């Protein structure tokens, strides 16, 4: 599979959007080389603000920018954007329903070797809990760009969880990406896998393997975790009767929870939630950490087979 860097896609998308829309401003907290807002800084230095290692200040400043009609992209590592500045996101941004976009690279376990202080497995949960917040989690570089452009058009706060480098490319062009409803990566009636982020390519691979064994699995890539496309989820539930969710996040409060909230209230079907089983992980390679969490193609296949009626 061809791969591309999602954080680079984020930086490039900011430049594209900044060229089209003069109201776009970017805030950064001393990590522009890592988050790739450095690309925007180079293209539009007058619309780039490095606030230093002060994420809370950055977030509330972004709220101030938004009150003046700007479209600020406040950027920090996912773990600090979602948690260090959480109260500012809630109070300064969400209560006022201000047009602040939060770009959050290095989501999930992608900060691997840096250890648990930098790994980010609770952000979707935090952000989903905030009224007015839209929560996006693209799965590759192309959908990452699509999310940035979608966020510019959307009025109101948006959190975009981005990964890092070397993510397999799933989409050809950003017009192919359906942000609101998600994209069908594989069709089948025997079971459904609903996934997002880095796990989507794994789910697709698992489905392809299972097809060879005569099992036909639907794989649906969700970008918008909140508001989640309830109709799409319910259709999948009706068609496939059993759902497995897969995500690089705590099993509590993420995609699995969002899907459970939909089906349990309208069309209950058995559901299995795959993710990080509520623990802080260690330093290690991304691959090691994914393996420990059971987020591998092999384990998805195993879980599907175990879950057959």
Ligand X SMILES: Cc1ncc(C[n+]2csc(CCOP(=O)(O)OP(=O)(O)O)c2C)c(N)n1
118 counts as binding other proteins under rule CB under 8 A: yes
**243-282 footprint of ligand X as x/- string (CB under 6 A):** ----------------------------------------
Determine the interface stretch with other proteins among 160-168, 247-255, 268-276, 281-289 (rule: CB under 8 A): 281-289
What residue has token string 């330093």? 283
Say which of 55, 167, 247, 248 is annotated catalytic: 55
Nearest to 101 by CA among 130, 72, 128, 124: 72
Q: Is 309 exposed, middle or buried (0-12, 13-18, 19+ CB in 10 A)?
A: exposed
Q: How far is 271 from 132, CA to CA, in rounded Å?
A: 27
Question: Which phi and psi (to 5°) does residue 9 adopt?
Answer: -60, -40
Residue 304 contact partner, candidates ligand X, other proteins, none, CB within 5 to 8 A by sort of partner:
none
Q: Nearest distance from residue 86's CB to other proteins, in Å? A: 13
Residue 77 or 194: the one with the smaller Cβ distance to other proteins is 77
Which residues touch 195 (CB under 8 Å, ≥6 apart)? 139, 202, 203, 219, 220, 221, 222, 245, 246, 247, 255
Residue 33 or 302: the one with the smaller Cβ distance to ligand X is 33
30 counts as binding ligand X under rule CB under 6 A: yes
Q: Give the pair of three-digit tokens for residue 55.
A: 């994420």
Contacting residue, 48, 65, 73, 80, with ligand X by CB under 6 A: 80
Residue 84 or 154: the one with the smaller Cβ distance to ligand X is 84
- 86-to-79, 193, 278 alpha-carbon distances in Å: 10, 31, 20
The three-point CA angle 211-6-165 to 5° equals 85
Is position 55 annotated as part of the catalytic site?
A: yes
Contacting residue, 7, 36, 70, 84, with ligand X by CB under 6 A: 84
294 counts as binding other proteins under rule CB under 8 A: no
97 counts as binding other proteins under rule CB under 8 A: no
Contacting residue, 1, 42, 53, 268, with ligand X by CB under 6 A: 53
Q: Which helix (H) or strand (E) holds 99?
A: none
176 counts as binding other proteins under rule CB under 8 A: no
Residue 31 or 293: the one with the smaller Cβ distance to ligand X is 31
28: helix, coil or strand?
strand
**106 contacts 136 by C-beta, under 8 angstroms:** no
Q: How far is 68 from 115, CA to CA, in rounded Å?
A: 39
Q: How far is 176 from 158, CA to CA, in rounded Å?
A: 21
Contacting residue, 96, 129, 168, 284, with other proteins by CB under 8 A: 284
Is the link from the previous residue into 227 a cis peptide, with omega within 30 of 0? yes
31 counts as binding ligand X under rule CB under 6 A: yes
288 counts as binding ligand X under rule CB under 6 A: no
95 counts as binding ligand X under rule CB under 6 A: no
Q: Annotated catalytic sites, by residue?
A: 55
Which residues contact ligand X (rule: CB under 6 A)? 30-31, 53, 80, 84
Binding site for other proteins (CB under 8 A): 28, 30-34, 38, 50-54, 56-57, 79-80, 84, 113-118, 282-285, 288-289, 292
């Amino acid at each position: 599979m061809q791969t591309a860097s999602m954080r680079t896609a984020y930086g490039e998308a900011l430049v594209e959007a900044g060229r089209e829309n003069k109201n776009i401003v970017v805030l950064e907290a001393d990590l522009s080389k890592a988050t790739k807002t450095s690309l925007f800084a180079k293209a539009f230095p007058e619309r780039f603000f490095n606030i230093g290692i002060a994420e809370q200040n950055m977030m509330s400043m972004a709220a101030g920018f938004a009150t003046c009609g700007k479209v600020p992209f406040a950027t920090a590592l996912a773990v600090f954007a979602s948690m260090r500045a959480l109260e500012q996101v809630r109070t300064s941004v969400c209560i006022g329903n201000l047009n602040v976009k939060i770009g959050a690279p290095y989501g999930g376990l992608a900060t691997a070797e840096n250890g648990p202080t930098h790994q980010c497995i609770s952000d979707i949960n935090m952000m989903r809990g905030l009224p007015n917040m839209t929560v996006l989690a693209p799965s590759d570089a192309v959908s990452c760009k699509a999310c940035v452009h979608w966020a510019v058009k959307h009025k109101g706060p948006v959190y975009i969880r981005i990964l890092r480098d070397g993510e397999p490319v799933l989409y050809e062009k950003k017009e192919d990406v359906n942000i609101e409803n998600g994209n069908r990566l594989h069709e089948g009636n025997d079971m459904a896998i609903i996934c997002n982020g880095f796990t989507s390519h794994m789910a697709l691979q698992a489905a392809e393997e299972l097809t060879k064994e005569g099992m036909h699995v639907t794989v649906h890539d969700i970008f918008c975790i909140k508001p989640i496309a309830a109709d799409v989820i319910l259709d999948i539930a009706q068609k496939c009767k059993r759902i497995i969710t897969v995500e690089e996040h705590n099993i509590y409060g993420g995609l699995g929870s969002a899907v459970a909230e939909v089906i349990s209230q309208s069309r209950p079907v058995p559901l299995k939630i795959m993710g990080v089983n509520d623990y802080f992980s260690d330093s290690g390679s991304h691959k090691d950490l994914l393996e420990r969490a059971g987020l591998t193609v092999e384990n998805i296949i195993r879980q599907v087979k175990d879950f057959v009626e």
